């Protein structure tokens, strides 16, 4: 549509009505077909070029003129005008379309001064370049990608410990390996053969939301795979999930001291059971609840303070053990230090910190911890064994350093000898050249005299 056509009074607005209400608030004309079969979904990051005009043909904005593509999160409701959320969701990659937006789907009665007047109908030409799902991981490593098929209700989401009811289908490649309706508590998913990445994803959902999740191996069944479902090691998975309902677990601020102490005892026992079963991640989640509930609790009676301190100490010691098993040594050290803040001479705290130091080759620090364990608890045989290991490692390290320095000094000595030899050779050559020059001079003199 040219500017002249837009300026013509009474020119009919063209395009297919793509509004959910069919009120002709957003009309779309495809100018160039896109490729593929998929369109962006709610929450996808989309990238476009666009130009916008008023109905009289006045251009008010263009990413093309700025030579800078525009990206936004589709369907969030606050990043772009309503018409864009509706229209871009119907496009394919490479498609170019023209959309006509009534004021109620654009800037309404307020307009967007100074360029867009109140109650303005707008026309945009948009080209879609790409779209990609929302990354739900804390580190934004692409391990859990969500694409929302149907937006949920409200703003509340399940938390750790929430009771959720889901309907889901798991796929590996083109094969459906799991299809169920399930009611379970967040944090207990491993008991129901759910990967931990799916539990993490469910905590980002709203009630009645329907989404597709793409899980990388470390958020799926990992290097072990899942024999029950014939999932090989390091497999990427896809889950389609509908969150039918959920009941949030009580947050810390919603519980009184008695409830926190009571629940801490319950989850401590649950964590211990998980640990015995070799489910260290699930065990750690339980112990972390104790820390979150009791770490900053104040105004306790002496009896409550003693009980809370005992539970916190156990939680940190058990977390340290879980992290050692998972080879997460920095977190193991952190929890050992927390435990030792509560009890500076704690046998398990010192021993496990020594193990963590040893695992990361901090042999001197490890030796110090094991020596203190033996000093305080002379009957601890495991500490004596580890102390011998530390001393052996330190000797090996010293020998290695000794050889390294010896080799370094030898190289330096060889270099000095080579430099001296080079200098001597150069000096000899200079002397020989001088002698040759003297011979030439003498010969010239003889020839002249003759």
User: Hey, which residues are catalytic here?
Assistant: 50, 60-61, 81, 107, 124
Q: What separation in angstroms does the CA of 396 have from each of 64, 185, 187, 405?
A: 65, 50, 44, 14
Query: How deeply is 292 buried, as exposed, middle or buried, from its count of CB atoms within 10 A (0-12, 13-18, 19+)?
Result: middle
Token readout for 122 is 């707008």
For residues 50 and 355, give the distance between their C-alpha atoms in angstroms, rounded to a whole number: 59
Token readout for 166 is 């889901």
Q: What separation in angstroms does the CA of 387 have from each of 348, 362, 364, 374, 383?
A: 15, 13, 10, 9, 6
For residues 171 and 239, give the distance between their C-alpha atoms in angstroms, rounded to a whole number: 6
For residues 322 and 140, give the distance between their C-alpha atoms in angstroms, rounded to a whole number: 25
Asked if residue 28 lies in contact with residue 97, where contact means CB atoms within 8 angstroms, the answer is yes
Q: Which residues contact 84 (CB under 8 A, 6 or more apart)?
A: 72, 99, 124, 126
How many Å separate Cα 164 from the centre of its chain?
24
Asked if residue 51 lies in contact with residue 124, where contact means CB atoms within 8 angstroms, the answer is yes
DSSP 154-219: SS----TT-EEEEEEEEEETTEEEEEEEEEEETT-GGGGT--HHHHHHHTT--BT-EEEEEE-GGG
In degrees rounded to 5, what are phi and psi of residue 163? -95, 115
Asked if residue 87 lies in contact with residue 126, where contact means CB atoms within 8 angstroms, the answer is yes
């Amino acid at each position: 549509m040219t500017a002249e056509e837009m300026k013509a009074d009474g020119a009919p607005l063209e395009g297919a009505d793509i509004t959910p209400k069919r009120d002709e608030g957003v009309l779309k004309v495809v100018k160039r077909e896109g490729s593929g079969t998929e369109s962006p979904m709610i929450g996808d990051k989309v990238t476009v070029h666009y130009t916008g005009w008023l109905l009289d043909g006045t251009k008010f904005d263009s990413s093309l003129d700025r030579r800078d593509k525009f990206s936004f999160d589709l369907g969030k409701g606050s990043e772009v005008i309503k018409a864009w959320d509706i229209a871009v969701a119907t496009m394919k990659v490479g498609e170019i379309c023209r959309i006509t937006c009534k004021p109620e789907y654009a800037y309404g009665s307020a307009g967007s001064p100074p360029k867009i007047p109140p109650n303005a109908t707008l026309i945009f030409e948009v080209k879609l370049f790409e779209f990609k799902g929302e990354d739900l991981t804390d580190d934004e490593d692409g391990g859990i990608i969500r694409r929302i098929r149907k937006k949920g209700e409200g703003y509340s989401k399940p938390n750790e410990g929430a009771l959720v009811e889901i309907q889901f289908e798991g796929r590996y490649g083109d094969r459906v390996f799991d299809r169920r309706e399930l009611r379970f508590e967040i944090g207990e998913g491993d008991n129901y053969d759910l990967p931990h990445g799916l539990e993490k994803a469910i905590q980002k959902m709203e009630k009645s939301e329907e989404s597709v999740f793409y899980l990388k191996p470390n958020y799926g069944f990992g290097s072990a795979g899942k024999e029950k479902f014939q999932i090989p090691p390091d497999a990427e998975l896809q889950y389609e999930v509908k969150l039918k309902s959920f009941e949030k677990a009580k947050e810390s601020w919603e519980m009184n001291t008695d409830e926190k102490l009571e629940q801490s005892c319950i989850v401590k026992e649950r964590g211990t059971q998980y640990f015995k079963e070799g489910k260290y991640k699930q065990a750690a989640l339980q112990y972390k609840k104790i820390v979150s509930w009791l770490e900053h609790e104040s105004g306790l009676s002496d009896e409550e303070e003693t009980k809370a301190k005992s539970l916190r100490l156990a939680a940190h010691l058990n977390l340290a053990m879980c992290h050692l098993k998972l080879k997460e040594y920095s977190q193991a050290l952190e929890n050992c230090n927390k435990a030792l803040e509560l009890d500076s001479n704690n046998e398990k705290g010192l021993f496990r910190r020594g193990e963590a130091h040893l695992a990361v080759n901090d042999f001197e620090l490890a030796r110090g911890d094991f020596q203190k364990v033996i000093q305080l608890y002379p009957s601890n045989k495991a500490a004596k064994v580890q102390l011998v290991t530390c001393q052996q490692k330190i000797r090996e390290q010293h020998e290695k350093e000794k050889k390294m320095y010896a080799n370094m000094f030898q190289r330096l000595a060889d270099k000095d000898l080579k430099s001296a030899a080079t200098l001597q050779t150069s000096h000899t050559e200079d002397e020989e050249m001088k002698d040759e020059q003297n011979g030439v001079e003498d010969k010239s003199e003889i020839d002249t005299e003759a």
